[in-house]
Structure 1
């Protein structure tokens, strides 16, 4: 069920100019689809994807519950497009070895290029570029500042 729902969801998600972030399926057939877009996800995006899937899967054959929602701003990044969407924004990165960095995404490909500030004095900073191999990243989240 999960694979066929992912395939069906991706058809409509791609048509809307969005991308699939994650799909969760519980043992009770509660399906949650997380989507994102370079321009942001609207309520209408979620409704459109949900209806598209429900039109193609008969609940009488296999009962399920479906939720389609935006990947939250506090959720860890799961796919490459989330990194690309957030180029120029500040993120918090946790590496597999436990090291943590906070910085601005400059680029993403085979490596994450992160601009980090290093304190040099009481009120002065230097910036430095870190090149982090993607397979060394355990988790990346948007750094949300309420200033």
Structure 2
């Protein structure tokens, strides 16, 4: 019987020789889904190579399972710290713990904390009209509901 730890160990063995990183492993009944990612995107050839590697290592045991190896979807919420690191400088959408959505530029990542630069209307001292200013908001990955990359077609 194959378990998640066995799959994770084998995937990490394959990842040692590449710049890819593991995002998630989902075992659901007779299905094993593995998500990997890379700073420059994921190549289908590499997914196929990882799949063949797992088939070689697990042999007949894998016969009872449907194996899927793919990339973490570009519009999907981040699951691991490395995804945050890869998107520093990009526009992201954060769903805060209070349910509020904020869109801004991922300014920095330090451990499990990150800074999002957002534009807000504020009234400068001595002025009557609000102006848009950039404000840094600090978050913990553990306290937000989700963070995902914003696709721009501009």
Q: Equivalent residue of 1:83, what SS? A: helix
What residue in structure 2 maps to residue 9 of structure 1?
11
Cα deviation, 1:99-146, whole Å, max 9, x if unaligned, reads 221111011124210110113599x52111111123211101111122
Within 5 A, what are the aligned runs for 1:11-90? Answer: 11-27=13-29, 29-60=30-61, 63-90=64-91
Q: Equivalent residue of 2:64, what SS? A: coil
TM-score (norm 2): 0.86
Aligned length: 146
User: Are residues 5 and 129 of structure 1, via their aligned partners in 2, closer, same or farther at CA, if it must alter by over 3 Å?
Assistant: same
Q: Equivalent residue of 2:24, what SS? A: strand
2:132 to 125, 130, 138: 125
TM-score (norm 1): 0.90
RMSD: 2.0
What residue in structure 2 maps to residue 135 of structure 1?
142
**Deviation of the 1:61 alpha carbon:** 7.1
Q: Equivalent residue of 1:4, what SS? A: helix
Cα deviation, 1:37-74, whole Å, max 9, x if unaligned, reads 11221111101111111101123576111110011101
5+ long unaligned stretches in structure 2: 124-128
What residue in structure 2 maps to residue 101 of structure 1?
102
**Contact 1:21-1:79 at 8 Å conserved across structures:** yes
Q: Equivalent residue of 1:136, what SS? A: coil
**Contact 2:21-2:36 at 8 Å conserved across structures:** yes
**Contact 1:16-1:45 at 8 Å conserved across structures:** no
